[in-house]
Amino acid sequence: MTRRELVDLAPAKINLCLYLGPTRPDGRHELVSIMQSITLCDRLRLRPGEPGADGDEVRCPGVDGPNICAAALAAFRAATGWDGPPLVLEIEKHVPVAAGMGGGSGDAAATLRLIARLAGIDDVELELELAAGLGADVPGQVRPGRVLATGAGERIVRLPDPDPFGILVLPSAARLSTADVYRQADRMDLGRDAAGLRGLDPIGRPDYVNDLEPAARALEPTIDEALACARRLGADVVMVSGSGPTVIGLFASPAAAADAAAAARERDPAPVAAAPFVGPVGHN
């Protein structure tokens, strides 16, 4: 193996709809969601470690605790038997953490893409299988774009890229645990029954419904101010992103979203303007 460095982008995702269903025997919830990758991205670099290193290393400045990307590297090695030398994965974070935008999941998906390229193993089905074992949002980000996610998120159907539109991202200083939001949703009885979930057909045009939004708002009241801000800025659609607390506003064009972000530039954390992520990932 050469000493070259591989680089990839890990786009954030938004849920254009998220319908919550009943709890499965494995403890996960059934769901139906359209996930859209956006141009707000982390940047990952994978390279061989220094001689004498005794294992893979993940470096992610500003993020403490165990990193799902380490689990992704270990899962790939275990599944494939690839015995390449220890690696260093460096993550340059731009996607908010614990924010309902799939930041960690996107990083894990990008990690699978990177180590597969390094090992010379081109097997999307393997990546999807490993992704499903890492977390519900990971399979939908293995190949960024627009997908319909069902099951607990592990069943993926790719959808055509949308026409251009703008996305205003209003990050929060708070963080919400996805597990806590799902538990709150259960306490509030927000889930739909299995028959109601099966009757949904969101592919033609999402209804822009997020069944987790009331739970996120109950746990983090500052979300309400961000929702009101996005409405004042003229967003056509305003909703909580995934499990929150990030709020998104959808606009007819990327330029309109950029104007809205500029108008709210005094907010802290600063707003971000984005658009749908279109095109392949993976470059050196």
Q: Which residues have a catalytic role annotated?
A: 13, 137
Output DSSP code: residue 152.
Answer: T
- How far apart, in whole angstroms, are the C-alpha atoms of residue 175 and residue 200? 30
**Long-range contacts of 65-68, Cβ-Cβ distance < 8 Å, separation of 24 or more:** 67/91, 67/104, 67/107, 68/104, 68/105, 68/107, 68/108, 68/134, 68/135, 68/138
Residue pair 86/54 in contact (Cβ under 8 Å)? The answer is yes
Helices of type H across 42-164: 68-80, 103-119, 124-134
* H helix and E strand count, the chain: 8, 10
Residues 37, 106: Cα–Cα separation, whole Å? 9
CB contact at 8 A, 88 and 59: yes
| 126, amino acid identity | L
